Structure 1
């Protein structure tokens, strides 16, 4: 009787140990078994039909987001300029991905999570290259472009900040007659050569020649001139000049294209800007110099279809040699790069934005090499 009782007690203890071990492995408290248990549970959960049936609206939204990114050139512009508006804010559509992912995980929807692969893949294909620093040292020429702002309260301070940037070429847009003297006075010592054509100008450490205005057919916007009378701008908003460098002539364009507005009835109004962009594209297409630099406030991003005529002939230094998106407007919280430096026949070395001045735009800069 004693032996039998002892054996029975041992068997009971062994069975209890086995139960505890199994429970420990199942609850994930067994060290290396933790992640294996969780993986097995996840596989079992996703192999069931319920997670795939949950969140159909979330899955459809994720697919629509991917298609919007993929097919944005096909969005019509006839209805309130919606195509250009979407393309102006295209990188920000990626913010919907983590929102949809969180919602999919909360709903435990396998279909919604898998559907997000489409917008993620398309977004990375469009903008993934901007997430890395592509700049490198060197560069034969430093160029800066800045919309100094018609209502800039301190044009002299802005001029001093820009002169301290070390730029060889300095393009300014939105120069008012009232502020022109301040810019010319503050920049004269650093830049012995300059030209101002209407509201745009170029200051240079190198000689300039063959300077002329470029007709971009500027029209008045649908709301008229919204600026105060004492800062109304002259009509000419683009110029072309030749810079004499040690490596030969460099054609430089400085431009400020028409404004865009979001209007309650007509939507995203871009008529004036688009007409300016087309005229500027024609001028660049007729340029015979192999080396070209375009500096200016284009009032749009290079993703916007309105600039296809320009971007088919010139390429963005930010895309080729920048670090990040290089957003330049508005200065307090930049959401878009509408101030551009585009080149042809030269090699972008680096691209960056400068600290804010008294303008509502950030200055943009680039180093280029031969």
Structure 2
């Protein structure tokens, strides 16, 4: 029994070079090596397919840039169909989507969208940031109020009473229908000993008035429907603007009261502004010819000063709201004000404050300003 028993201890055995299924001592199995490099390659492909912070939210970034460019270059928007005028009328509201886009960008963790939001934020602040800073101060010598009292106003007496207690020294009324003019005259007589009414606009004053006359701001028709009528069928519209001289202790003050033509959203013609635009041009020309250094323009312009059609008027006068108002001073519609189309514009005087008054029976809010010399 000289045979030696072989005990298998389970230790790995080396096999020959040819046809060996094993692996050299200390090496990595070939199939495992292939698996490792394949996994790395697959991981790289997946990483490339997975968008990073600069590749996520590209649509949000594009929308932010579009809004920013619109506010920055709103003057370049073509006015075909009144599109440019419509955009500029509601230009402050272009900033409304920015907080929504910002929240979406943070939720998506999109660095590109957050970076793109810088443009609309800077553009909006450059246009309207100054309106967020309170600027009203005390010390006004004269309080001026302007109000489109509304042709459909069902409570003209109540509106007149509210205006008589507004503290105004000068009160301009627009859309003053002849059937209710006497109501306003009676209610305002105690507060304002001097007044003048021309067509559908009027001026009430605590100081003497002189040199009052109508100002032509009419286009020659009453609206878009007149374009389809024969000239003899177009009714003659009452005057919608006046000019008067107010005698103050510091000298004469020229006051214009105007109600420019309405604008309409036409089914086929877009944003119709022809009558308003023609009236703005005529009013701008009248103010340019004014010889009195101190001047006010009050009334319903049916447009904001951001609208390009008022560029000429804005070069001659300053907005009381922009100079010394608190906030945007939106005046229309009264139920949910979205635009300041009722203006108080000044030249040669200092504005101490500008504000809106409580709602009356009109679809406009009254606007007010305090001025000094």
| Match of residue 61, structure 1, among 43, 60, 63 | 63
| CA–CA separation in structure 1 for the residues paired with 2:137 and 2:191 | 26
Structure 2 counterpart of 1:222 = 224
CA RMSD of superposed structures (Å): 1.5
The aligned length equals: 316
Structure 2 counterpart of 1:152 = 153
| CA–CA separation in structure 2 for the residues paired with 1:151 and 1:112 | 47
Specify the SS of the correspondent of 2:96.
helix
Identify, as 1 or 2, the structure richer in helix: 1
Specify the SS of the correspondent of 2:316.
coil
**How far off its partner does 1:249 sit?**
0.2
**How far off its partner does 1:224 sit?**
5.5
Q: Is the 8 A contact 1:54 1:109 kept in 2?
A: yes
Structure 1 counterpart of 2:203 = 202
Q: Is the 8 A contact 2:218 2:261 kept in 1?
A: no
| CA–CA separation in structure 1 for the residues paired with 2:320 and 2:236 | 29
Structure 2 counterpart of 1:9 = none
Structure 1 counterpart of 2:328 = 325
| CA–CA separation in structure 1 for the residues paired with 2:293 and 2:155 | 38
| CA–CA separation in structure 2 for the residues paired with 1:303 and 1:210 | 32
Per-residue CA deviation, residues 8-38 of structure 1 (Å, 9 max, x unaligned), is xxxxxxxxxxxxxxxxxxxxxxxxxxxxxxx
| Match of residue 299, structure 1, among 289, 298, 302 | 302
| CA–CA separation in structure 1 for the residues paired with 2:236 and 2:327 | 33
Structure 2 counterpart of 1:316 = 319
TM-score by length of 2: 0.83
| CA–CA separation in structure 2 for the residues paired with 1:172 and 1:324 | 23
| CA–CA separation in structure 1 for the residues paired with 2:236 and 2:324 | 34
Can you give the 5+ residue segments of structure 2 that lack an aligned partner in the other structure? Answer: 1-49, 228-234
**1:341 lines up with 2:351 in the alignment:** no
Specify the SS of the correspondent of 2:150.
coil
Which has more radius of gyration? 2
Q: Is the 8 A contact 1:258 1:276 kept in 2?
A: yes
Structure 2 counterpart of 1:34 = none
Structure 1 counterpart of 2:139 = 138
**1:183 lines up with 2:184 in the alignment:** yes
**How far off its partner does 1:157 sit?**
1.0
**How far off its partner does 1:234 sit?**
4.5
Per-residue CA deviation, residues 93-127 of structure 1 (Å, 9 max, x unaligned), is 11110111111112211100110001001100100
Per-residue CA deviation, residues 263-284 of structure 1 (Å, 9 max, x unaligned), is 2211111000000000000000
Per-residue CA deviation, residues 258-305 of structure 1 (Å, 9 max, x unaligned), is 000112211111000000000000000000100000100000000000
| CA–CA separation in structure 1 for the residues paired with 2:366 and 2:114 | 40
Structure 2 counterpart of 1:235 = 238
Specify the SS of the correspondent of 2:292.
coil
Q: In the TM superposition, what are the counterparts of 1:273-284 in structure 2 within 5 Å? A: 273-284=276-287
Specify the SS of the correspondent of 1:367.
strand
| CA–CA separation in structure 2 for the residues paired with 1:267 and 1:110 | 38
Specify the SS of the correspondent of 2:78.
coil
**How far off its partner does 1:217 sit?**
2.2
Can you give the 5+ residue segments of structure 1 that lack an aligned partner in the other structure? Answer: 1-47, 226-231
Structure 1 counterpart of 2:23 = none
Q: Is the 8 A contact 1:199 1:233 kept in 2?
A: no
| CA–CA separation in structure 1 for the residues paired with 2:236 and 2:73 | 38
| CA–CA separation in structure 1 for the residues paired with 2:236 and 2:347 | 30
